[in-house]
Amino acid sequence: MNRVLLLFLAFFSIQIAKAQYTEIINSKRPGLSESPYSIGTNVYQFETGLFYRNSDNPLYTVPSDTYGGELLFRYGKFSEKLEFDLNLAYQIDDLSHHPNGHIKGLSDLTVGAKYLIRQQDFTDKSKEVRSFKKRYAFDWKRLIPSIGIYAGVHTKFVSKDYKEDDLSYKLAVLLQNDITDRLVILTNLINDKFSTDDSFYKYIITMTYAINQNWSYFIENQGQYQEDYAPKYQFGTGLAYLINENLQVDASARTNFFDDYTYYYFSTGIAWRLDRHYDTMSFKNLSDKTVKKKKKRTGFFSKLFGKKRN
């Protein structure tokens, strides 16, 4: 627990990134990776969905069929770079070896926070009018990622069939490369349950591409490494549709590879935010005063089309 507290202190000691707020919803769904950027102060965001998982893994502890729902609540407070979240999951596992044939209940309740420690800035080439070559040349700074960090706690407030003996923790480094205004690559490096014997490491790499102002798709690869177990690899893909600046629907599918058993996962869901964000501007001639300005509403997918505000 002390290590987690020290990590949170490190969050607030690093002040090298500018604040960034997207004028449309910035959802983690439908992929599994997470952006280093927060949703902005005074924004309440709900990301929920239904899922189905099927596996013929010969290990008896792995259910053949799982149905469930999940909810991620995100809240920005205190700083544009800081976000708190609460993740809930309820599931029903069909288990042939269980006396009742299944188990069900709240399988996860995780609380955490992430902090943006570095935001990469890019050259505004729209103002370059003297050189066609410079205007359309690739900005090599885009290969340098924005960086965030996450810390979370898997609590014991779950159903008895899913309860573990001790609390466990999750740490992650979150990287984002804006390759173009439409193409974004996310990389997550994760150490989960690191305080227990079930500790494992995971990477997630996600490429998201905005087809137009309403549609985007993603492809994703993840790998998991755990002592005494063979590595696990998965591939996922899916679509998201932006209904309006505060509402998104999605669908995704994923499967495994390099294993001697099959695994399928399907999910569909929705993300909605209650936006109470205000930009705060300070003026040098007003030493003790600030002016709060409500953000302007612009087009869809501002995150991927460059309509961002610092």
DSSP sequence for 104-171: EEEEEEEEEEEEEEE------GGG--S-HHHHHS--GGGGSPEEEEEEEEE-S-S-GGG--SS-EEEE
Residue 66: pLDDT band (50, 70, 90) is very high
Q: Is the dihedral angle over the CA atoms 292, 243, 18, 81 positive or is it negative?
A: positive
Mean pLDDT of 39-53: 96
Mean pLDDT, the chain, rounded, equals: 82
The yes-or-no verdict on residue 221 having pLDDT over 60 is yes
The yes-or-no verdict on residue 196 having pLDDT over 70 is yes
Q: Identify each DSSP E strand in the chain by its residue range.
A: 21-22, 43-55, 65-76, 82-94, 102-118, 146-154, 168-178, 183-192, 200-210, 215-226, 232-244, 247-257, 263-275, 278-282, 290-294, 308-309
Q: Residue 298 is encoded by which pair of tokens? A: 């612009």
Residue 135 and residue 127 in contact, taking contact as beta carbons nearer than 8 Å:
no
The whole-number pLDDT of residue 301 equals 46
The whole-number pLDDT of residue 15 equals 36
The yes-or-no verdict on residue 257 having pLDDT over 80 is yes
The whole-number pLDDT of residue 55 equals 86
Residue 222 and residue 200 in contact, taking contact as beta carbons nearer than 8 Å:
no
